[in-house]
A and B are shown apart, each in its own frame.
Chain A
Amino acid sequence: MKIPGVALGALVVAAGVSLYFHESGSTPTAPTIMQSASPAGDARVAQLTRQVEALQRSLSAVQSQLASQKQTSAPDRPAAAKDSPPPELDVATQRAQELERRRLYMAGVAAGFNNEKIDPAWATRVASRVSATFEGNEELRKRLRGVECRTQTCRVQMDEDDSVALSRQMPFLSLSLVDVLPSMSVDHIEQGNGHSTMILYMSSRAGAASGAGK
């Protein structure tokens, strides 16, 4: 946005200068001719001449600036294009793109879990914590379908439906496991009968840091 703004300004300056000279006559010597005609006009013409000279200097400076910006930005053009906002898409297309991005992300999370080695000590200890948390909550217990832990991630599978009963329990789940599994990514797999399976990939990797440097 910066370069087009400068370019627009330079264009307006150029148009103004051009218009000025067009109105003053086709040659810059016109003020000299007027000078001999009237002393009052002489002073005014001299003032305008100074103004035009000053503006011409400004125009030259702007043109130099524009040229240097073009030179500086040329190597960064691919990066700038990457940063620029995507072209306008309709809502349905944008939502489809987001869904696909999320699907790819969750596929990566699942692959990462499948490739994770098993640390027996950590896996046993944390799986016990997860199971105990579910056992202690009726709503969570009846939905639990499986817990599997590896080195830093646990995969928890639960039945879900359209009711809000499960989402009401999520704070309890997070509170109980925040010290061992502070972050989670959630996938949902439709079962085709109005029910779906919620898969929680709960990770021990810290999702938080002290923001002392804010």
Chain B
Amino acid sequence: MSSRFVSVIAIVCGVVLCRSAERPAFATDINKAAPQCQADFPEAMDLIMHENNGVHTAPQSTSFQWVTCSIPRSPLAANATSGSFYVDGDNLGGASTTCWVSSYDYTGVLLGSTSFTTSLPHYDMLLTLPVAQLGVWAYTSLTCALPANANGLLRGVTVVQ
């Protein structure tokens, strides 16, 4: 009787396996919040404010300040022709923000970059790099020139996988 029980269990397992095989697989985007971004230059370290919802310049900052954020990513799909990045943030009082995504080979060689500048109050910009500049071992980063006087908040970057 126990072997019958085992056989019934095997049948049930088989049916469950068949059903679970129906579940589709999805590629995973990666969201990176901007509070991890760092000032590019030591003299600007005290002029960059890190909030829970992003990064901006300090109110006493009289000029724009540079920040750079790492962009974690996975290798692109075998048939991909490009990789994309959404950059989100806000501008206050007509200020503008300039950002670009750079890609470096694992040897440190600059492969390419793509950029935008915007004065939209709320921006959600899509940047794209060709697959030849996003190899398996390439490192990508986001650099932004944030407006002075806390007039802009960089919220984060999303890698579209």
* A interface residues, Cβ below 8 angstroms from B: 1-2, 4-6, 8-17, 19-20, 23-24, 48, 51, 55, 58-59, 62, 65, 82-86, 94-95, 98, 101-102, 104-106, 167, 170-171, 174-175, 178-179, 182-186, 188, 198, 207-212, 214
How far is it, in angstroms, between the C-alpha of A10 and the C-alpha of B19 when the chains are bound? 10
Interface residues of B (CB under 8 A from A): 3-4, 6-22, 24-25, 40, 66, 77-79, 86, 98, 100, 102, 109-118, 120, 123-133, 135-137, 143, 145
Collect the chain B residues with CB atoms within 8 Å of residue A175's CB: 98, 145
CA distance A104 to B126 in the complex (A): 26
* Contact of B112 with A183 in the complex, beta carbons under 8 Å: yes
Residue among B25, B109, B112 with max Cβ neighbours from chain A (10 Å): B112
Q: Is the interface of A mostly helix, strand, loop or mixed?
A: helix
14 contacts between A and B (CB under 8 A): A8-B17, A9-B17, A11-B14, A16-B14, A20-B4, A55-B15, A94-B136, A101-B132, A102-B133, A186-B112, A208-B114, A208-B126, A209-B125, A214-B86
Interface centre among A13, A184, A211 (most CB of B within 10 A): A211
Contact of A9 with B18 at beta-carbon distance under 8 Å, contacts A184-B113, A185-B112 already known: yes
